[in-house]
Amino acid sequence: MTVPPGEEGEDQDAMAAEWEAQMAGEGEETDEQDDLAAEWEAMVGGEDGDMGGDVVSSVSGRETTRVLNQDEIDSLLGFDEEAEDVSDKSGIQAILNSAMVSYERLPMLEVVFDRLVRMMSTSLRNFTSDNVEVSLDNIASLRFGDYLNSIPLPAMLGVFKAEEWDNFGLLTVDSSLIYSTVDVLLGGRRGTAAMRIEGRPYTTIERNLVERMVHVILADLSTAFDPLSPVTFRFERLETNPRFATISRPSNAAIVAKLRIDMEDRGGRLELLIPYATLEPVRELLLQMFMGEKFGRDSIWETHLAEELWMTDVDLTAILDEQTLSLGQIFDLKVGSQLLLNATPNSDVDIRCGTIPMFKGAMGRKGDNIAVRISEKTMKGPEK
Please, are residues 16 and 22 in contact by the beta-carbon 8 Å criterion?
Answer: no
Please, are residues 335 and 349 in contact by the beta-carbon 8 Å criterion?
Answer: no
Q: Distance between CA atoms of 92 and 204, rounded to whole angstroms?
A: 44
pLDDT, one tens digit per residue, over 174-185 is 888 888 888 888
Selection from 251, 243, 241 nearest residue 144 by Cα: 251
DSSP conformation class of 285: H
Q: Distance between CA atoms of 306 and 310, rounded to whole angstroms?
A: 7
Please, are residues 137 and 259 in contact by the beta-carbon 8 Å criterion?
Answer: yes
pLDDT, one tens digit per residue, over 195-221 is 555 667 888 888 999 999 999 999 999
The architecture CATH gives domain 98-286: 3-Layer(aba) Sandwich (3.40)
- Mean pLDDT is lowest, of 31-35, 86-90, 214-218, 295-299, for 86-90
What is the assigned CATH class of domain 313-377? Answer: mainly beta
Q: Distance between CA atoms of 146 and 127, rounded to whole angstroms?
A: 33
- Please give the distance of CA 179 from its chain centroid, rounded to a whole number: 36
Please, are residues 331 and 352 in contact by the beta-carbon 8 Å criterion?
Answer: no
Cα Rg of the chain, angstroms:
42
- Mean pLDDT is lowest, of 30-39, 113-122, 160-169, 199-208, for 30-39
Alpha carbon distances (Å) from 265 to 115, 189, 383: 25, 11, 70
Beta bridge pairs of residue 140 = 256
Residue type present at position 230: P
Confidence bin at 4 (pLDDT 50/70/90):
low
Q: Distance between CA atoms of 156 and 153, rounded to whole angstroms?
A: 9
Roughly how many angstroms between the first and final C-alpha of the chain, as a whole number?
Answer: 109
Calculate mean pLDDT across residues 279-292.
76
Q: Quote the percentage of the chain above a pLDDT of 90.
A: 12
The phi, psi pair for 39, rounded to 5°, reads: -65, -45
Q: Distance between CA atoms of 159 and 235, rounded to whole angstroms?
A: 6
Indicate left, alpha or beta for 134 from its phi (over 0: left) and psi (-120 to 50: alpha): beta
Most confident range, picked from 63-67, 147-151, 264-268: 147-151
Could you tell me the residue ranges of all domains in the chain?
A: 33-66, 98-286, 313-377
